[in-house]
Amino acid sequence: MSQLSNVLVAELDPISSVSEAYRSLRTAVRYKKVVPAGQGMVLMVASPKTQEGKTTTLANLAITYAQEGKSVVVLDCNLRQPALHEMFGAKNSKGLVHFLTKGLTAQEVITPTGIIGLDLIASGGQPLNPSELLGSAQMNALMNELKMRYEVILIDSPSTLDYTDACLLSEYSDGVMLVAKNGKTKREWAKQARTQLEQSGARMLGIVFNQ
């Protein structure tokens, strides 16, 4: 059994107020009616800068979807500073990069997390050309395949203001959530990140205030 990170409160302490906050977030997304019923929903979680709680928010939200009985996959598209594999206590020896560059199939790069209904595609490393890989035809093909297999696909992205990757990834997403950390994120950063994402065609679902 893999060792889950203690930040995965939704799994480790499901009756806590923090877990309830993640469930409220899941409900808020439902009311946005992001995609028609019966179609895989792709949500991207972004943040203006690093260390704002984006990956923690994504992982806990994914767990609440799995607890609801949905089939869920989390996709580590932060090829700059991948962290999802550590949260779920998984190895990063194969993942997205291997699908995009080594010809592995989607099935070969999917890792079960040990949580029922929740799978992980780790980054598989830190390549030299993340933007090119994330904007490739192979990436588009993977997203189409995942939408056939899963009800909820959650994408973790690098910080919006530091790299173009998040804007590229928003093209695959039905909705984008921006995570801002109370007391850390400057208001201008959040506005700037939102503007950049909207200009790339992202459907902004709203801002999540962390802590």
Residue extents of the structural domains in the chain: 9-210
Q: pLDDT (tens digit, 9 = 90+) per residue, 4-57?
A: 778 899 999 999 999 999 999 999 888 777 777 667 899 999 999 988 889 999
Report the candidate in 97, 53, 93 with the shortest Cα–Cα distance to residue 75.
97
pTM of the model: 0.94
Amino acid identity for residue 189 in this structure? W
Strand runs labelled E in the chain: 41-46, 72-76, 111-112, 118-121, 152-156, 175-181, 204-210
- Please tell me the predicted confidence (pLDDT) of residue 34: 75
Helical (H) or strand (E) element with 132:
helix 130-134
The per-residue pLDDT for range 107-164, each reduced to its tens digit, is: 999 999 999 999 999 999 999 999 999 999 999 999 999 999 999 999 999 999 999 9
| pLDDT of the residue at 196 | 93
Domain covering 9-210 assigned CATH 3.40.50.300 in the classification: yes
Task: Supply 154's token pair.
Answer: 């959650």
Q: Which of 30, 95, 92 is nearest to 64 (CA)?
A: 30
Averaged pLDDT, 170-184:
90
pLDDT bracket for residue 169 (50, 70, 90) = very high
CA dihedral sign of residues 72, 143, 108, 159 = negative
Does 2 have pLDDT greater than 60? no
The residue-averaged pLDDT of 192-199 equals 93
Q: How much is the pLDDT for 1?
A: 37
* Residue 110, phi then psi, degrees to nearest 5: -85, 130
pLDDT band, residue 187 (cuts 50/70/90): confident
Q: What per-residue confidence (pLDDT) applies to 37?
A: 66
| Radius of gyration for the chain, computed over Cα atoms and rounded to the nearest angstrom | 16
Separation between Cα atoms, residue 42 and residue 91, nearest integer Å: 24
Determine the pLDDT at residue 94.
Answer: 95
Q: Which of the 8 DSSP states describes residue 151?
A: S
Residue type, 166: A
Dmax (CA) of the chain: 44
